[in-house]
Amino acid sequence: MYTNRHPFVIETYILFESTDPKSLYELFSFFYGCFLFFRRFKTIFKKLCVSFNKE
């Protein structure tokens, strides 16, 4: 049925088919943590660039 699809799509489909709210919440918090980390890293990187440009 899903043989011609990408394995990641199948795994995601299986993950969302198993209606365990705890695992879905863990997945969401993981992606949200990555998002926050990249946003914080971007602001730090901007501050570093500004400090390098001042010199």
In a domain, 10, yes or no: no
In a domain, 44, yes or no: yes
Q: Which residue has the higher pLDDT, 43 or 10?
A: 43
Residue 27 — very low, low, confident or very high, per pLDDT cuts 50/70/90? confident
In a domain, 50, yes or no: yes
Mean per-residue pLDDT over the chain, rounded: 75
In a domain, 26, yes or no: yes
In a domain, 11, yes or no: no
In a domain, 27, yes or no: yes
3-state class percentages of the chain: helix first, strand second, coil last, to nearest 5: 80, 0, 20
Q: Is the pLDDT of residue 21 over 60?
A: yes
User: Structural domain of residue 28, as residue ranges?
Assistant: 20-54
In a domain, 41, yes or no: yes
In a domain, 12, yes or no: no
Domain count of the fold of the chain? 1
Residue 24 — very low, low, confident or very high, per pLDDT cuts 50/70/90? confident
Residue 8 — very low, low, confident or very high, per pLDDT cuts 50/70/90? low
Residues 39, 46: contact at Cβ < 8 Å? Answer: no
